[in-house]
Amino acid sequence: METHLLRFVERVRCLSGDQLISNEFALVRKKSTSIKEDYGLTTVAGGINGNVKKNRYRDILPYDQTRVCLTPTTSEYESDYINASFIKGASGDRTCIATQGPLSSTVVDFWRMIWQHNVKVIIMACREFEMGRKKCEAYWASTTETSVFGPFTVSALEESRSNDEIIVRTLVVQHSDETRKVSHFQYTAWPDHGIPDVPDGILGMMELARQKQGDQTDPVVVHCSAGCGRTGVICAIDYVKDLLLTEQIKEHFNILDLVLELRRQRPSAVQTKEQYEFVYHTVAQMFQKFMHKQNKDTKTSDSFYINALSPKTPVKSGSLSIGVSPKPRNPALKPRLSYPPQTSMNNTYAVVNKPKLLPPTVHHYDNANADKSNNNALYSTVKPKNRPVATLSPALPTTPANDRATANQRGGTAPKVIDSDGYEVLPGELRSMNRDAQLPNHLSRSSSATESHSSTDDGYEYLTANVKETSNVFSPGSLGFNSRVTKPKGPRDPPAEWSRVER
């Protein structure tokens, strides 16, 4: 059998990403649609008007062929319906009962089922509230209280935590004059619509449940919210555990057939692709631990681990130590808790990073040497530069702009023009002066008016567009006309170059 176990573990190691899992799970869903017709499965009892309100979800109904039928207790509780299904084990007996989380109206029916089948162990794979919704009614009592559910009186003898993920309760149930003890295991770290990060918690909880069950043949009740997804995963793992202990793992063992067998007994068992993949990895880890236990000799057991990790690489508990590729496809899994663990704050200190004190910044102003008696002179006075003279020099050649641009492209040198202040006039300014020279007489700006214009005239400052000469009219500043700051005095005709046709 060890050869078959090793082959399965090797197959899990060689899983090519999610594609194989996706294809296999798609095949499970496809075959599940024909299961009802192949086996003649019906859900009549769950659809009766009086029983519809007892279903937490309308699309998850137990099959009539595998559902749990309750026996009447009193005239008030005569209905035999509960949303629960029997699950066969490796021996063919009814080893598990998969059921939904009880509703407030079905808690009495839940305890009727527990009492009728002499259940000693209950596994709860959900919390009462998840993602803001109630997933299960509290059918137990706290350690300081006693709860009454119809003819049943329930009290908690003790409550403890085996770790941060599992709550273990010992419940005392009384009916008439008889009293029984029921072990209750609640796994709190299974996220809704997800999977646990590592299978260690699930395997540890199931091991504790088996110890409490002992040699009793009474069924174990497993439930989550709907009684199919997380419940199906636990039932699948428990089924494989029975096969392993009875040495029934054959050559053709596979998870696909196992899940299909579960879905024949409980609809939508193992509900999502992620849960299906989680079954694969949990079973592989179970096989690995079994082989390690059977081969106590270190040298012999090492032969079952192909391509083991280097001693330098830390290996977490619960991760497969066989054949891990150099670049894992999935990130390392970390335990996820349903709530933050309680830690002692006695030796906890807060470290505060104080900002460094920087030397004061010294600002140098260009009016620092000004008269200190004048407190209002906080800023230096900037005198605007006078507008260049727009009078066209007689010696200036009258070559058009296009000709000058062509001459520059051929390597020629544009003529230099010196204004009255001794500054060289740029080509953009030459274009501006040519434009002004071509304007009509009533719009042209005379040199005398320009020379007399200062920064104090009408509160406007005239700027000259100092741009490079270019033949592309779409480049910035290529038109070369003057701009003025703030609001212009009035409308004026566009420059003559605007109407010039480009060739």
Q: Is the pLDDT of residue 314 over 80?
A: no
* pLDDT band, residue 394 (cuts 50/70/90): very low
Burial status of residue 83 (CB atoms within 10 A of its CB: 0-12, 13-18, 19 or more): buried
- Position 378 scores a pLDDT of 47
Q: How distant is the alpha carbon of residue 458 from its chain centre?
A: 65
CA distances from 213 to 155, 181, 182 (A): 20, 12, 10
pLDDT for position 113: 97
Measure the CA–CA gap between 248 and 487, rounded to whole angstroms. 95
Q: What is the pTM of this model?
A: 0.61
Burial class (CB within 10 angstroms; exposed 0-12, middle 13-18, buried 19+) of 31: middle
C-alpha closest to that of 187 among 216, 207, 204, 167:
167
Can you tell me the mean pLDDT for 67-91?
Answer: 90
Q: Rounded to the nearest 5 degrees, what angle is found at the Cα of 288, between the Cα atoms of 285 and 290?
A: 110
Confidence of residue 143 (pLDDT cuts 50, 70, 90): confident
SS3 content of the chain, % helix, strand, coil (to 5): 30, 15, 55
What pLDDT score was predicted for residue 412?
47
Bridge partners (DSSP) listed for residue 418: 424
Most confident of 23-27, 364-368, 433-437: 23-27
| pLDDT surpasses 70 at 438 | no
Cβ burial of 347 (10 Å; 0-12, 13-18, 19+) is: exposed
Query: Phi, psi at residue 343, to the nearest 5°?
Result: -125, 150
Structure confidence at residue 386 as a pLDDT band (50, 70, 90): low
pLDDT average, residue stretch 270-296:
90
Listed range (65-79, 199-213, 323-337) with the worst mean pLDDT: 323-337
The DSSP-derived string for 195-236 is --S-SHHHHHHHHHHHHHHTT--SPEEEE-SSSSHHHHHHHH
102-138 tens-digit pLDDT: 999 999 999 999 999 999 999 999 999 998 899 999 9
Q: What is the mean pLDDT of residues 75-99?
A: 90
Whether the CB-CB separation of 418 and 425 falls below 8 Å is answered with yes
Work out whether strand 152-161 and strand 424-425 pair parallel, antiparallel, or are unpaired: unpaired
Q: pLDDT higher for 86 or 423?
A: 86
Provide the β-strand partners of residue 168.
160, 185
Task: Give bridge partners of residue 129 from the DSSP assignment.
Answer: 134
Sign, CA torsion 385/390/391/393: positive
* pLDDT > 80? residue 251: yes
Taken in order of first residue, the domains within the chain and their CATH numbers are: 2-302 (3.90.190.10), 401-499 (no CATH)
* Contacts of residue 24, Cβ cutoff 8 Å, sequence gap at least 6: 255, 256, 276
Active site residues: 224
Higher pLDDT, 320 or 472: 472
pLDDT of residue 502: 63
The amino acid that residue 110 corresponds to is: F
Indicate the residue type of 85.
S
Query: Confidence band (pLDDT; 50, 70, 90) for 3?
Result: confident
Residue with tokens 């594609």: 19
Nearest Cα neighbor of 477 from 425, 410, 431 is 431
Residue 317 is predicted with a pLDDT of 39
- What is the pLDDT confidence band of residue 319, given thresholds at 50, 70 and 90? very low
The DSSP bridge partners found for residue 417 are 425
Quote the pLDDT of residue 184.
Answer: 97
Structure tokens at 139: 């059918």
Rounded CA-CA distance 176/174 in Å is: 7
The pLDDT mean for the chain works out to 74
Task: Write down the pLDDT at residue 500.
Answer: 65
Q: Using pLDDT thresholds of 50, 70 and 90, give the confidence band for residue 96.
A: very high
